[in-house]
């Protein structure tokens, strides 16, 4: 997984222009890197900016969202690095699907309901590869089998598949041009736990075999801990902590990460009294001068409320907290 640099996002800021008011800063100064073959999880609750971040990065955002600062350098296998945030439409068209693919949460909306799956796949492949229809179809059939759907189902319309199969079909569709990175936005939220497990295992296997990188976005930290190499936690539009998955689980620094981790009741071991995180998520319409988590934090002081805590680096992790948590827990085997 310690491959070459694939994506380097630096100082990304996205705002929403509000009618007759000050703009709302939905993503503030977000920086992260992604290496070839790395699985980066981004966890955050509603309104934390994770989807805004991704749509800005992929240049899929629509007004009133505007990217106001930052750059996102993408390093192709061959050729010069380029900035995704300033690439022209032609470059983007070449990159999408071919190098950067996306899997959205709602599989039903991602597939064309009036086209058979086979023709959607053939279209996607032939838009990017010079292949005959028959070759494109064979390639699509191979992808179908890789995600565990019988090739015969390619003749179906999307509504003829179950929810789990549809979601697997969109994953196959994303992978059909062998991209360098796949962005997955809550790909398993709409399916049941058993199907979720099956899809995650398939993603993990395909990733091991093909070596693409993944940016996996979800509100479910417990799921990210299982699949990611590295996890970034977003709160109030910022990345407040980023660390290798195991370190983030056993020994988080930011107080919000601790609260989020301890919001998932355990399936095994003793049942502790859990409190969740008191208070409510930040209102981005009324940004605070200091740490946006301070009003909910039991450890906040006047310093926390005065200025936004700077990102601190410690070994393989970064965090934005001036009273960090330091108490590793032994996780029950």
Partner 1 sequence: MTSVADGGPVLEAAGLTVHYPVHRGPIGGRVVHALDDVTLTLHPGRIVAVVGESGSGKSTLARVLAMAQQPTAGSVRLSGQEVRLRSRRARREYASRVQLVLQDPFSSLNPLHRVRYLLARPLALHAGVRAEAELDRRIRGLLERVALTPAERFIDAYPHELSGGQRQRVAIARALAVRPDVILGDELVSMLDVSMRLEILNLLSGLRDEERLAMLYITHDIAAARYFTDEIAVMYAGEIVEYGPSEPVTQAPAHPYTKLLIGSSPDPGREPALDGDDDDLGEPPDLVAPPAGCRFHPRCPFVMAHCRVSAPPRVDVDAGRWARCWLLVDEVEPTPRQTT
Residue ranges binding partner 1 (CB under 8 A) = 45-46, 148, 162, 164-165, 192-198, 200-202, 204-205, 219-223, 225-227, 249, 259-260, 263-269, 271, 273-278, 280-281, 331-333
Residue with tokens 């319409």: 285
Min dist. Cβ of residue 192 to partner 1 (A): 4
Min dist. Cβ of residue 130 to partner 1 (A): 32
The whole-angstrom separation of Cα 251 and Cα 316 is 12
Min dist. Cβ of residue 249 to partner 1 (A): 5
Number of Cα atoms under 13 Å in the Cβ half of residue 49: 29
Take residue 290 and report the two structure tokens written for it. 């200091």
Helix (H) or strand (E) holding 82: strand 82-83
C-beta closer to partner 1: residue 15 or 48: 48
What is the radius of gyration, based on Cα positions, of the chain?
21
C-beta closer to partner 1: residue 98 or 226: 226
Query: Rounded to 5 degrees, what are φ and ψ at 268?
Result: -135, 170
C-beta closer to partner 1: residue 30 or 260: 260
The whole-angstrom separation of Cα 153 and Cα 179 is 24
C-beta closer to partner 1: residue 90 or 268: 268
Q: Which residue, among 25, 24, 38, has the nearest Cα to 316 in the 3D structure? A: 38
C-beta closer to partner 1: residue 33 or 222: 222
Min dist. Cβ of residue 79 to partner 1 (A): 33
Angle at 42 between CA 73 and CA 48, to 5 degrees: 100
Give the Å distances, CA to CA, from 283 to 26, 55, 64: 10, 21, 18
Min dist. Cβ of residue 69 to partner 1 (A): 28
C-beta closer to partner 1: residue 259 or 324: 259
Min dist. Cβ of residue 83 to partner 1 (A): 33
Min dist. Cβ of residue 277 to partner 1 (A): 4
Q: Are 301 and 323 in contact (CB under 8 A)?
A: yes
Min dist. Cβ of residue 299 to partner 1 (A): 16
C-beta closer to partner 1: residue 114 or 194: 194
C-beta closer to partner 1: residue 69 or 195: 195
Q: Are 106 and 167 in contact (CB under 8 A)?
A: no
Q: Are 25 and 15 in contact (CB under 8 A)?
A: yes
H helical segments located in 147-291:
163-175, 193-210, 221-227, 245-250, 255-261
């Amino acid at each position: 997984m310690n491959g070459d640099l694939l994506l380097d996002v630096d100082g990304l800021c996205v705002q929403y222009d509000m009618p007759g008011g000050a703009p709302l800063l939905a993503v503030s100064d977000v920086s992260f890197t992604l290496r070839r073959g790395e699985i980066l999880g981004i966890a955050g609750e509603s309104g934390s900016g994770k989807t805004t971040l991704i749509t800005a990065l992929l240049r899929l955002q629509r007004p009133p969202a505007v990217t106001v600062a930052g750059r996102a350098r993408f390093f192709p296998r061959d050729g010069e690095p380029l900035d995704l945030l300033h690439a022209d439409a032609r470059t983007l068209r070449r990159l999408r699907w071919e190098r950067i693919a996306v899997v959205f949460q709602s599989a039903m909306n991602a597939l064309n309901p009036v086209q058979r799956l086979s023709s959607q796949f053939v279209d996607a492949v032939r838009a990017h590869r010079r292949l005959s229809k028959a070759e494109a179809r064979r390639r699509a059939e191979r992808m179908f089998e890789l995600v565990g759907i019988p090739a015969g189902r390619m003749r179906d319309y999307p509504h003829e598949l179950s929810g789990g199969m549809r979601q697997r079909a969109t994953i196959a569709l994303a992978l059909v041009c062998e991209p360098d990175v796949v962005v997955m936005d809550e790909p398993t939220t709409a399916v049941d736990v058993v199907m979720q497990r099956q899809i995650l295992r398939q993603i993990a296997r395909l990733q091991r075999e093909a070596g693409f990188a993944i940016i996996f976005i979800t509100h479910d930290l417990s799921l990210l801990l299982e699949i990611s190499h590295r996890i970034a936690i977003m709160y109030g539009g910022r990345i407040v902590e980023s660390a290798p998955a195991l370190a983030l689980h056993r020994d988080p620094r930011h107080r919000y990460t601790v609260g989020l981790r301890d919001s998932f009741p355990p399936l095994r071991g003793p049942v502790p009294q859990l409190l969740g995180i008191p208070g409510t998520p930040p209102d981005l319409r009324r940004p605070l001068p200091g740490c946006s988590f301070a009003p909910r934090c039991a450890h906040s002081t006047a310093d926390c409320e005065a200025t936004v805590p700077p990102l601190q680096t410690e070994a393989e992790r970064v965090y934005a907290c001036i009273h960090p948590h330091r108490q590793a827990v032994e996780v029950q085997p």
